[in-house]
């Protein structure tokens, strides 16, 4: 049994034996020197062996963000158990949104290792069929995981408003969001990394959701020196499992995704649906519309 799974087998076994309708519970595992935590919710009368939806949140967010709570409540009401994870982002036992006052050492691809650790954990405790579900940046990271690594327990992929990383790494967008120029920061980060000092700090830079923070050169490069191979069209072309992409029709953060994916959407290997009027976070009743589409996909 993998060490990350063995460390927490008792926790999940206890959750699996809990009475039907039991409340959500936190579970943890050790990975890469960090404690990672997640919220496990079993649908009424279900165990992990009946299937679990593994949920990954958006940029610097967390599993208790309002839309993530809504998504899992709606799924549970339809009979789907969920495991909503908190990505560590280099912080031990991280909870809540990332604190921009904390230094950033995490790398974009760290999420793939953590998704893999949670999949091993679920499989070791009886989950034979796992749906990988990602929102926003978590959607891109979920697709990236399936395209590059995969896992025997994975049955399908569900993405809500997944981002294209290259769009967020465009100098014009960076400056519009932060009021700062991207090119000098990239140049400094590349120089440091090229001289073997990737762990050196960049101070007072705009980084992801943080307008002014400290970040290592290698961390900054992992998010901003990215190529089109990490964008959704390239990743979805490589999937070996059926996938659903739910596009927010009024998304002002990820724009035109349905048009970019249209050439790939065959309704079998890849399904793309648009929730008209929804913003990026599927606020108000649009979350219900999005999960209705997810449930249709999972039950077909």
What pLDDT does residue 244 have? 99
Tell me the mean pLDDT in the region 22-40: 93
The answer to whether 157 touches 132, Cβ cutoff 8 Å, is yes
- The yes-or-no verdict on residue 14 having pLDDT over 70 is no
Q: What is the pLDDT of residues 127-166, one digit of tens each?
A: 999 999 999 999 999 999 999 999 999 999 999 999 999 9
Over residues 4-31, the mean pLDDT reads 55
How much of the chain is in helix, strand and coil states, percent to nearest 5? 40, 20, 40
What does each C-alpha distance from 127 to 23, 47, 97, 130 come to in angstroms?
Answer: 19, 8, 29, 7
pLDDT of the residue at 135? 99
Cα dihedral 118, 121, 124, 130 sign: negative
- Taken as a whole, the chain contains a residue count of 300
pLDDT of residue 3: 36
What residues pair up with 159 in beta bridges, in sequence order? 134, 245
DSSP 104: B
- Centre a 10 Å sphere on the Cβ of residue 181 and count the other Cβ atoms it contains: 12
Between CA 100 and CA 106 the distance in angstroms is 13
pLDDT in tens, 64-112: 999 999 999 999 999 999 999 999 999 999 999 999 999 999 999 999 9
pLDDT band at 23, cuts 50/70/90?
low
How confident is the model over 199-205, as a mean pLDDT?
99
- Cα(169)–Cα(234) distance, integer angstroms: 17
Residue 6: per-residue pLDDT: 37
Any idea which of 13-17, 22-26, 216-220 has the lowest mean pLDDT? 13-17
Distance in angstroms (rounded) separating the CA atoms of residues 211 and 199: 20
Q: What is the mean pLDDT of residues 252-278?
A: 97
Q: What percent of the chain has pLDDT over 90?
A: 92
Q: Tell me the pairing of strands 243-248 and 270-275.
A: parallel
Q: What is the mean predicted confidence (pLDDT) over 244-254?
A: 98
Question: Residue 278, CB half-sphere, CA atoms under 13 Å: how many?
Answer: 23
**This model's pTM is above 0.85:** yes
In the chain, count H helices and then E strands.
Answer: 12, 10
* Beta-ladder partners of 26: 39
Three-state SS at 250: coil
Give the CA dihedral 132, 258, 97, 142, nearest 10 degrees: 20
> In the predicted model, is pLDDT for residue 41 greater than 70?
yes
Amino acid 47: pLDDT? 96
Asked if the model's pLDDT at residue 19 lies above 80, the reply is: no
Instruction: Give the C-alpha separation, 146 to 137, whole Å.
Output: 14
Long-range contacts of 260-263 (CB under 8 A, 24+ apart): 260/164, 260/232, 260/233, 261/232, 261/233, 261/236, 263/233
* Mean pLDDT of all residues belonging to the chain: 93
> Does residue 10 carry a pLDDT above 90?
no
**Which pLDDT band holds residue 17 (cuts at 50, 70, 90)?**
very low
Q: Which of 7-11, 143-147, 187-191, 282-286 has the lowest mean pLDDT?
A: 7-11
């Amino acid at each position: 049994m993998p060490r990350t799974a063995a460390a927490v087998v008792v926790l999940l076994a206890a959750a699996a034996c809990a009475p039907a309708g039991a409340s959500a519970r936190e579970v943890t595992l050790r990975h890469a020197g960090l404690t990672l935590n997640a919220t496990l919710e079993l649908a009424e009368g279900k165990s992990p062996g009946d299937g679990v939806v593994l949920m990954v949140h958006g940029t610097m967010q967390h599993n208790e963000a309002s839309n993530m709570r809504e998504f899992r409540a709606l799924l549970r009401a339809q009979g789907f158990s969920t495991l909503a994870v908190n990505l560590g982002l280099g912080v031990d036992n991280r909870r809540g949104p990332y604190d921009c006052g904390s230094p950033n050492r995490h790398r974009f691809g760290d999420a793939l290792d953590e998704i893999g650790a949670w999949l091993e954990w679920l499989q070791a405790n009886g989950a034979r069929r796992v749906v990988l579900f990602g929102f926003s940046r978590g959607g891109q990271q979920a697709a990236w995981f399936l395209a590059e690594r995969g896992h025997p327990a994975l049955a399908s992929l569900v993405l809500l408003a997944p981002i294209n990383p290259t769009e967020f790494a465009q100098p014009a967008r960076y400056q519009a969001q932060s009021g700062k120029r991207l090119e000098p920061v990239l140049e400094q980060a590349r120089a440091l990394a090229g001289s073997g000092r990737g762990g050196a700090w960049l101070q007072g830079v705009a980084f992801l959701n943080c307008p002014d923070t400290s970040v290592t050169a290698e961390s900054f490069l992992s998010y901003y020196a990215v190529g089109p191979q990490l964008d959704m069209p390239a990743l979805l072309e490589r999937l070996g499992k059926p996938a659903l992409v739910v596009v927010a029709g009024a998304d002002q953060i990820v724009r035109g995704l349905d048009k970019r994916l249209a050439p790939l959407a065959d309704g079998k290997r890849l399904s793309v649906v648009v929730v008209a009027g929804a913003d990026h976070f599927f606020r108000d009743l649009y979350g219900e519309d999005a999960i209705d589409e997810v449930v249709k996909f999972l039950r077909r």
